[in-house]
């Protein structure tokens, strides 16, 4: 995704509007903004792209986006807090989203959620592990009700979960990560 944004942005660089001295650390944000022509009506896609980059919406970046689009920081903050997709806290590398749609709920999704929290030593208040590897959250419906209960780890969907299956999935990711580090 990062490459995509940069590629697309660099094609537009030549004819894009000049921005008043972009701060270097916001290079990526500037490219995103250029991509959407500094159009405040595209605030939601812009925030999507920013979150893709940072894995959450840092306050300073939201301020920067507001100034660059010529809208109030309150509006950016308002939109960021209104939609469930946007996060104001850093998220882990693997975002585990346990579906708590109705079909999953009646098939015991909350047991899966509790199991994962137990395995990762997380609670309702603490949703991200200290090593920033996992974030666990519920989502209102993934639309895979035929396979209930379901969860999604980043882009991958896992269906017909059992408590053991859930433990294995987490364990495999940990093993994979440990392997990558070595």
- Closest distance between another protein and the C-beta of residue 171, in Å? 19
Of 78 and 90, nearer to another protein (C-beta) is 78
CA distance 61 to 29: 8
CA distance 30 to 153: 29
Helix ranges (DSSP H) in the chain: 2-13, 27-35, 43-54, 59-69, 73-82, 102-106, 109-119, 163-181
At residue 167, the 3 state secondary structure works out as: helix
Of 22 and 108, nearer to another protein (C-beta) is 108
Among 6, 48, 167, 173, binds another protein (CB under 8 A): 48
4 lies in the site for another protein, by CB under 8 A: no
95 lies in the site for another protein, by CB under 8 A: no
- Closest distance between another protein and the C-beta of residue 78, in Å? 5
Phi (first) and psi of residue 5, to 5 degrees:
-60, -45
Choose one: 15-23, 35-43, 53-61, 164-172; the region binding another protein (CB under 8 A): 35-43
Phi (first) and psi of residue 137, to 5 degrees:
-150, 165
Of 45 and 130, nearer to another protein (C-beta) is 45
Among 44, 119, 133, 173, binds another protein (CB under 8 A): 44
160 lies in the site for another protein, by CB under 8 A: yes
- Are 65 and 48 in contact by the 8 Å Cβ rule? The answer is no
148 lies in the site for another protein, by CB under 8 A: yes
147 lies in the site for another protein, by CB under 8 A: yes
Residue among 32, 131, 45 at smallest CA distance from 91: 131
Residues that bind another protein (CB under 8 A): 40-45, 47-48, 75, 78-79, 82-86, 100-103, 105-107, 139-148, 155, 157, 159-160
């Amino acid at each position: 995704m990062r490459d995509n944004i940069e590629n697309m942005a660099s094609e537009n660089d030549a004819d894009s509007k000049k921005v008043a001295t972009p701060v270097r650390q916001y290079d990526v944000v500037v490219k995103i903004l250029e991509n959407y022509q500094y159009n405040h009506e595209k605030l939601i896609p812009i925030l999507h792209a920013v979150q893709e980059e940072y894995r959450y919406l840092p306050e300073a970046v939201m301020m920067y986006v507001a100034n660059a689009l010529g809208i109030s920081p309150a509006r950016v903050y308002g939109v960021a807090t209104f939609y469930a997709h946007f996060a104001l806290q850093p998220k882990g590398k693997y975002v585990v989203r346990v579906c708590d749609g109705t079909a999953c709920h009646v098939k015991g999704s909350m047991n899966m959620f509790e199991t994962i929290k137990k395995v990762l030593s997380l609670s309702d208040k603490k949703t991200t592990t200290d090593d920033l590897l996992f974030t666990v959250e519920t989502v209102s419906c993934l639309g895979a009700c035929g396979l209930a209960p379901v969860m999604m780890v980043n882009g991958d969907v896992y269906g017909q979960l059992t408590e053991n299956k859930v433990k294995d999935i987490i364990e495999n990711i940990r093993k994979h990560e440990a392997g990558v580090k070595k």
